[in-house]
Amino acid sequence: MQYNFFSSWYEKYYWRTGFKSRLYDRLTPESYLESMRKVVALLPDNPGQKIWDAGCGTGLLLFFLENAVKQGAVYYGSDLLSAGLSQARMRARDLSISDNRVVCVQSDITTALVFKENSLDVVAAHFSIYTIRENDKRQQALKNMYRVLKSGGLLIVCCPSKSYDAGKIIEESCELLRARRGLLQTAIKRMLFYPFTKGLGLSFIHKQLQSGQSMAYTREELTEELRCAGFEIGHSETIYASGAYLMCGHKVVVSG
């Protein structure tokens, strides 16, 4: 892959610009939102649970956690980029979620622990760790997640697979939209939004995966990374037009 000035600038500022301009939210394909719905459907039935959205971006997951948070859960969002965190805070306000139920912190998931050990019920790492290029740093991020989870706690991780396919993601998104919103909304998204989703977003991610800047997993590789961090593997499924895996890791219950 040839790197000219524009492509390296794009790579460096991709997330920040997408978050600030809100293009990230506006161009998100329905299939990605569907993957968030799947994450939320796996949450335990525990009204007071503490949920860490690790590498939360703009806090899109909050859309799907609204009911859980209004019913007593606490949302902790963390990201490297303040641009995403400001959007997450704004989202919480727009959803009328009270300030003490949403905590957003700027931090690096590969370094120091931001939360106390054994203090959280759930960690959701929705398409975040795959952007960490170095194997040892990804491993450290997973170990940090393990440490902050309570005994019996749940990690839900979503990461692209080697079958990531931008075209299939757009097609699946249109099918989902057709079923959920009808033909008109689908046609609008297909013609006015999804060409940009594919051109500006999904194709860029695909290049990052192919060049090794980001990690495209096999199921075995993801299983191994979670196991090495201490997790017992639970439910797993393919998501995102079969271009990604959702996998659950459990922190083993320590008895006595």
Ligand X SMILES: C[S@@+](CC[C@H](N)C(=O)[O-])C[C@H]1O[C@@H](n2cnc3c(N)ncnc32)[C@H](O)[C@@H]1O
Interacting residues with ligand X (CB under 6 A): 15, 55-57, 60, 79-81, 84, 108-110, 126-128, 131-132
Q: CA 72, CA 74: separation in Å to the nearest integer?
A: 7
Q: Which is nearer to ligand X, 17 or 178 (CB)?
A: 17
Q: Which residues pair with 250 in a beta bridge?
A: 154, 232
Q: Which is nearer to ligand X, 182 or 212 (CB)?
A: 212
Q: Which is nearer to ligand X, 53 or 121 (CB)?
A: 53
**Minimum separation from the CB atom of position 132 to ligand X (A):** 5
**Minimum separation from the CB atom of position 255 to ligand X (A):** 33
Q: Which 3 state secondary structure label does DSSP give 48?
A: coil
**Minimum separation from the CB atom of position 54 to ligand X (A):** 7
**Minimum separation from the CB atom of position 19 to ligand X (A):** 7
Tokens of 80: 């490297």
Q: Which residues pair with 233 in a beta bridge?
A: 249
What is the number of the residue whose Cβ is closest to ligand X? 57
Q: Which is nearer to ligand X, 226 or 244 (CB)?
A: 244
Q: Which residues contact 79 (CB under 8 A, 6 or more apart)?
A: 55, 56, 57, 85, 88, 104, 106, 107
**Minimum separation from the CB atom of position 80 to ligand X (A):** 4
Q: Which is nearer to ligand X, 156 or 226 (CB)?
A: 156
Report which residue type is found at 224: E
Q: Which residues contact 40 (CB under 8 A, 6 or more apart)?
A: 61, 64, 65, 68
